[in-house]
Chains A and B, each alone.
Chain A
Amino acid sequence: MTMNWIAIGDINDIPLRGARCVRTPTGKIAVFRTAHDEVFAIEDHCPHKGGPLSQGIVHGTAVTCPLHNWVISLETGKALGADEGEVRTIPIRNDNGALFVALESLALAAAE
C-alpha cells in the first residue's frame, strides 16, 4: 500500500477559517484552512449522523458540524467534549500553498 500524493489545488482556493470539498471515489473529503493557514483533511462525514463537516464553522483547529453542533478536531478527527466518535483523517501536504492529499492506492484500485 503506497502513498499517492494527488494535487487538489491551492490553499487560497479555501477561505480562511473555511473548508472546501474534494470528491473521491470513496466519498467526499473536507479540506480545511484555519485562521493560521494550517490545512487539514478529514472525511466529510460527521461520526454522529453523517453531517457534511465541510459546511461547519471552523474555529481554532476544530469544526462544528452544521447539523447537530458536534465539535470535531481537525487534527485527530475525534469528537471533542462529551461526544464520542471519530472520523478518518487524510494526510495532506502543503508545498508553498499547493495542496496534495494522500490517497491509498488500494482505495483507488477498489474504486475502479
Chain B
Amino acid sequence: MTETAREKLVIVGNGMAPGRMLEELFEKAPGRYAVTIFNAEPRVNYDRIMLSPVLSGEKEYEEIIIHGDGWYIKHGITLYKGHKIIAIDRDAKTVTSDHGVTESYDKLVIATGSVPFIIPVPGKELRGVITYRDLDDVQAMLLAAQSREKAVVIGGGLLGLEAAAGLQARGMDVTVLHVMPTLMERQLDPAAGYLLQKTVEERGIKVVTKANTKRILGEEKVEGIELDDGRIIPATLVVMAVGIRPNAGLAKEAGLAVNRGIVVDAGMQTSDGDIMALGECAEVGGMVYGLVAPLYEMARVAASHLAGDRRAAFAHSDTPTKLKVTGINLYSVGDFADADGREEIVLRDATAGIYKRLVLKDNRIIGTVLYGDTADGAWFNDLLKRGRDISEMRDTLIFGQAYQGGSPLDPTAAVAALPDDAEICGCNGVCKGKIVGAITSKGLTSLDDVRAHTKASASCGSCTGLVEQIMSLTLGDTYNPAAVQPMCNCTDLGHDDVRRLIKAKKLKSIPAVMQELEWKTSCGCAKCRPALNYYLVCDWPDEYADDYQSRFINERVHANIQKDGTYSVVPRMWGGVTNSKELRAIADVVDKFNVPLVKVTGGQRIDLLGIEKEDLPAVWADLGQAGFVSGQAYAKGLRTVKTCVGSDWCRFGTQDSTGLGIRIEKFMWGSWTPAKLKMAVSGCPRNCAEATCKDVGVICVDSGFEIHFAGAAGLDIKGTEVLGLVRTEDEALEHIVALTQMYREQARYLERIYKWAKRVGLDEIRRQIMDDVEKRKAYFDRFVFSQKFAQVDPWSERVSGKDKHEFRPMATVGFNQAAE
C-alpha cells in the first residue's frame, strides 16, 4: 500500500482520549491510516490524571508519560508539538495551525479537551493567578511554591483539593475557598464532605466554605482575595480550580453543531460526516464528561468507527470518583441524592474516620459513597453496574465483599454454602451432612438432641454456633435457638463468638476487635474491656500489649481495693511455706506503715490490710528486700497453691505434697486465667489441704497423684471431679498445666473452671487431657510459651518506677500557704 493510498487521519489534540483511540485503532486496523497530530502543548501524551502527584512531588513528569516520542515514530505518526489549530476548512478538508502548517484530511478527529473556568472577578488577570489544567500550570505552581508563602485555591472540588494538597506538600500555607456548604458536593453527600473537610483541615489546610470571591487584590501581582462578606485572605498565589468547560470554540467557528460541547452521536460523529469529536470537548446524549473512564469509552467507540465497525455505540455509565491525595480515601459513584422510593444503608465510625453509604432503589444499588475505607468501591460499583438484586446479602452488604459468603460474620450464608462433607465439629469429627441427616431422619429439634445423637458441639462447644446455623437452615422457622447472651450492651455477640472471631480474624488489639466486630460503643464498657483484654493476652501472649486501662483497678495496681479506698497486700508464700526472715520483714512493714490489720487468709497467706495507695510501692520495696514477690491475690489468674506438710512430716503422708505444691506454684505463677484459679495439694486422702473443693486439686496416694478439678466453695459449693490418676510428679504437673491452658483458651471471662467444665463436658476434658497425648502436650507448650511473657513480678517493676502516676496524686492544690 503506497502512502497516497492510505487514508489521512488528522487529530486536533494530543490528550489521553485520542491517545487511547489511536492505541485501539492500531490494533483494530493497523496501517489503515496515515496519522497526523497537532498538539497545542509542546509535548507528548501524558497522564493528566497524575498531575497532582507531580505537584505534590510524589512523581516526576517523566513517570507520567503515556506515549514517548518512540511510540509516535514507531507508528509513523506526524506529531506537531506546540501547534495550535486555528482553522478548519470543511470544504477543502484541511486544518491550519498557528505556525502556518496546513494538512488535509480524510477523517478529522477533534479532541481539544476543555479549558478551565475562570471566575469573572476583578483582578483575575493579575500575575500569580493561575488555573490547574496542564503541566505548565503545575510548573507555575511549583515555582510559586518555592516562596513558601500563602496560597489560595478557589474551588473545593476534586481538582482544587488535589492542588491544595500538592501546594501544601510543597510547603505553602494553603486556604481552600469553596462556594458550597460542603466540599466536593457533586461527588459526596454532606456527611462525607464534612469528614473530608475535617481530614483536610487536620493536615493544616484551611477551608472556608460558602465563600464567594468578590475580587482578587493586588497591583500587578496578586496580594490576596476579598470575599463577599468582607474577609480578606492574603495570598501570593491564587489557583482557580472551579471547573472546566468543553473547548469547542474551534468546532463552532467551523460551523459544527455545538451545545455545551461539540455535539456528537453515540458513534462520536459530529454534524459533519468526516469529522468526529471525543474527549472532554464532546457532548454526547446531552452530557459532557471530565473523568477518564467515559473518555476512554469514547476512544474505544471512535476507534471502532474509524476501523469500519459502525455498531459501536457510547453508553452512559456512572463513573466512580476518587481523590488522588495520599492518605485520603474517598470513593463515590452513582446517584446518592435523597428521593422517594430510595433506601439507604449507612455505616459510620467517627473514631476511625469511616463513613459508608449505599443508596438503594428496588433492592439495587444506585449510589455509593465511601470515605476512609474504599476497598470495596469496585465491588459496589460492579453490583451497581450489573443492577444486581442485593436483598439476600442486604444484612451484611455494607461490610463489603469479604463478608459475603465466606465470613463468620455472615454465618448462615457461609454455612449454607458448605458442602455436605465439610467438618463442623473438629472434636468429634462430625460433618455437615451427618448433622443435617440426623436432624431430618430423627426429627431433632433442639441443640441438646443434636448433641446427643451426633456429638456435634458436644465437646469443646466452639462449633455450637455453626451447629445452630445448620439447624436453622434445616428446620427453617421452626427452630428457635436460645438467644446468645451478648457480652454486654456494646455488642450482640456472645463471649464464645468473640473468642472465636478474635482467633479466626487474627484480631490483636481492643480497637481492632471493636472495629472488626462492630462494637456499638466507641470504647466499650467496664464489662467488655477487661474481657477483651484477657482474651487478647491469652490468645496473643507475645504480640498483644496488655491494656492496663482496660483492667480492673486491682490488676492495675496489683493490690486489692477495700471499701474505704485503701488496699490490701498479700505477698506470695510458695505453697504456704514461710520462714523467720520473711515474717520479720512482714512485721517491720506492719510497724513502719502502721498497717491496721494483719490477717491469715484461706489460701495460707498473710494479708496486710488498710494500706494507702501512695504507700504501695514503698511497702513492696521493703517486702521485695526480703525476697517477696506479688501474691497476685487480686488477679484473675493463679492465686495460691495450698498444701499440707506431706510425707516429710506427716505420718500419713504418701507423697511430698508441699514440694509438689511449691513446684506447681513456681511453674504457674503470673498466668492470667478467665477467673481466679485456686489450687491445693493434699498428701493423703484425709485431704488436709482441702483440695477437693478447689478449682484444681491433687490428692496424693501411694500409687501416684489423683488430679481433681472443677470444685467450688464460694457462691456454689461443689466437690471436685476426678480428672485421672498419674504416676509421677512430672506427669501431674504436665496434666495440671494442660488442663489450665485448655480452660484459659476456652472459658468465658469470669467463668470459673467448674462452670466451664459443666458447659464443655467432663468427658471431653478428660479425653483431651488424659487420653490425647498430642493435645495435652500442645496445651502444655502453649502455656509454657505464654509464661515467658507473664512471669514478671509486677511489684518489683513498680518499685523500679513503672506506672508511677498510678500511685501519686496529680497535684495538691488549695491548701492555703497561710495555713502552713
Say if A and B assemble together: yes
Q: Using A35-B523, A66-B553, A67-B561 as known contacts, say yes or no to A28 and B805 having CB atoms under 8 A apart.
A: no
A8, closest chain B residue (CB):
B811
Contact between A58 and B814 (Cβ–Cβ < 8 Å)? no
**Chain A: minimal CB distance from B668 (Å):** 27
> Is B521 part of the binding interface, using a Cβ–Cβ cutoff of 8 Å?
yes
Q: Report Cα–Cα, A7/B814, bound state, in Å.
A: 10
**What string of 1s and 0s marks CB contacts (under 8 Å) between B805-816 and chain A?**
100011111111
Which of B529, B557, B814, B819: most chain A CB closer than 10 A?
B814
> Is B522 part of the binding interface, using a Cβ–Cβ cutoff of 8 Å?
yes
Q: Tell me which residues across on chain A come within 8 A of B805, comparing CB atoms.
A: 13-15, 20
Contact between A18 and B526 (Cβ–Cβ < 8 Å)? no
> Is A111 part of the binding interface, using a Cβ–Cβ cutoff of 8 Å?
yes
Q: Report Cα–Cα, A37/B612, bound state, in Å.
A: 29
> Is B563 part of the binding interface, using a Cβ–Cβ cutoff of 8 Å?
yes
> Is A71 part of the binding interface, using a Cβ–Cβ cutoff of 8 Å?
yes
**Interchain CB contact (< 8 A) of A6 among B525, B548, B557, B814:** B814
Tell me the chain A residues, 20-79 only, with Cβ under 8 Å from chain B.
20-26, 28, 31, 34-36, 49-52, 55-60, 64, 66-67, 69, 71
Contact between B565 and A51 (Cβ–Cβ < 8 Å)? yes
Q: Tell me which residues across on chain B come within 8 A of A51, comparing CB atoms.
A: 563, 565
> Is B550 part of the binding interface, using a Cβ–Cβ cutoff of 8 Å?
yes
Q: Tell me which residues across on chain A come within 8 A of B812, comparing CB atoms.
A: 22-24
Contact between B813 and A103 (Cβ–Cβ < 8 Å)? yes
**Interchain CB contact (< 8 A) of A66 among B561, B810, B815, B819:** B561
**Interchain CB contact (< 8 A) of B524 among A56, A59, A108, A111:** A59
**Interchain CB contact (< 8 A) of B814 among A9, A17, A60, A107:** A107
Contact between B814 and A108 (Cβ–Cβ < 8 Å)? yes
Q: Is the interface of B mostly helix, strand, loop or mixed?
A: loop
Contact between A16 and B811 (Cβ–Cβ < 8 Å)? no
Which of B526, B811, B819: most chain A CB closer than 10 A?
B811
Contact between B810 and A22 (Cβ–Cβ < 8 Å)? yes
Q: Tell me which residues across on chain B come within 8 A of A58, comparing CB atoms.
A: 549
> Is A101 part of the binding interface, using a Cβ–Cβ cutoff of 8 Å?
yes
**Chain A: minimal CB distance from B814 (Å):** 4
B548, closest chain A residue (CB):
A15
**Chain B: minimal CB distance from A31 (Å):** 6
Q: Tell me which residues across on chain B come within 8 A of A57, comparing CB atoms.
A: 525-526, 529-530, 549-553
Q: Report Cα–Cα, A16/B819, bound state, in Å.
A: 35
Contact between A60 and B523 (Cβ–Cβ < 8 Å)? yes
Tell me the chain B residues, 323-371 only, with Cβ under 8 Å from chain A.
351
Tell me the chain B residues, 555-600 only, with Cβ under 8 Å from chain A.
557, 561, 563-565
Contact between B549 and A24 (Cβ–Cβ < 8 Å)? no
Q: Report Cα–Cα, A6/B561, bound state, in Å.
A: 30
Q: Using A15-B805, A59-B521, A64-B525 as known contacts, say yes or no to A24 and B530 having CB atoms under 8 A apart.
A: no
Contact between B553 and A21 (Cβ–Cβ < 8 Å)? no
Contact between B809 and A20 (Cβ–Cβ < 8 Å)? yes
Contact between A23 and B549 (Cβ–Cβ < 8 Å)? no
Give the size of the chain B interface in residues (CB under 8 angstroms): 32
Tell me the chain B residues, 508-548 only, with Cβ under 8 Å from chain A.
521-526, 529-530, 548
How many chain A residues sit at the interface, stated as a range, is 35 or more
**Chain B: minimal CB distance from A107 (Å):** 7
**Chain B: minimal CB distance from A45 (Å):** 9
Contact between A59 and B526 (Cβ–Cβ < 8 Å)? yes
B816, closest chain A residue (CB):
A112
Q: Report Cα–Cα, A57/B550, bound state, in Å.
A: 7
**Chain A: minimal CB distance from B633 (Å):** 16
Contact between B809 and A22 (Cβ–Cβ < 8 Å)? yes
Q: Using A35-B523, A56-B526, A60-B523 as known contacts, say yes or no to A23 and B553 having CB atoms under 8 A apart.
A: no
> Is B121 part of the binding interface, using a Cβ–Cβ cutoff of 8 Å?
no
Q: Tell me which residues across on chain A come within 8 A of B417, comparing CB atoms.
A: none
> Is B818 part of the binding interface, using a Cβ–Cβ cutoff of 8 Å?
yes
Contact between A64 and B565 (Cβ–Cβ < 8 Å)? no
Contact between A67 and B563 (Cβ–Cβ < 8 Å)? yes
B812, closest chain A residue (CB):
A23
**Interchain CB contact (< 8 A) of B810 among A9, A25, A69, A103:** A9
B557, closest chain A residue (CB):
A55
Q: Tell me which residues across on chain B come within 8 A of A35, comparing CB atoms.
A: 351, 522-523
Contact between B814 and A18 (Cβ–Cβ < 8 Å)? no
Q: Report Cα–Cα, A17/B437, bound state, in Å.
A: 52
B526, closest chain A residue (CB):
A64
Q: Report Cα–Cα, A22/B809, bound state, in Å.
A: 6
Q: Report Cα–Cα, A112/B526, bound state, in Å.
A: 39
**Chain A: minimal CB distance from B773 (Å):** 42
B814, closest chain A residue (CB):
A24
Contact between B549 and A25 (Cβ–Cβ < 8 Å)? no
Q: Tell me which residues across on chain A come within 8 A of B522, comparing CB atoms.
A: 35-36, 60
Contact between A17 and B526 (Cβ–Cβ < 8 Å)? no
Q: Tell me which residues across on chain A come within 8 A of B810, comparing CB atoms.
A: 8-9, 13-14, 20-22, 31
Tell me the chain A residues, 78-112 only, with Cβ under 8 Å from chain B.
101, 103, 107-108, 111-112
B511, closest chain A residue (CB):
A35
Q: Report Cα–Cα, A13/B815, bound state, in Å.
A: 21
Contact between B809 and A21 (Cβ–Cβ < 8 Å)? yes
Q: Tell me which residues across on chain B come within 8 A of A6, comparing CB atoms.
A: 813-814
User: Known contacts A36-B522, A50-B564, A60-B522; can you find 17 more A-B pairs with CB under 8 A?
Assistant: A14-B810, A15-B548, A18-B549, A23-B812, A23-B815, A24-B813, A24-B814, A25-B814, A25-B815, A34-B523, A36-B351, A51-B565, A52-B565, A59-B521, A66-B554, A103-B814, A111-B814
Q: List 27 A-B contacts (CB under 8 A).
A: A8-B813, A14-B810, A15-B548, A16-B549, A17-B523, A17-B550, A18-B549, A20-B805, A21-B810, A22-B810, A22-B811, A25-B815, A25-B816, A28-B809, A51-B563, A55-B561, A55-B565, A56-B526, A57-B525, A59-B521, A59-B524, A64-B526, A66-B561, A71-B525, A108-B816, A111-B814, A111-B815
Binding site for B on A (CB under 8 A): 6-9, 13-18, 20-26, 28, 31, 34-36, 49-52, 55-60, 64, 66-67, 69, 71, 101, 103, 107-108, 111-112
Binding site for A on B (CB under 8 A): 351, 521-526, 529-530, 548-554, 557, 561, 563-565, 805, 809-816, 818-819
Q: 5 closest A-B pairs (Cβ-Cβ)?
A: A64-B526, A20-B810, A8-B811, A17-B549, A57-B526
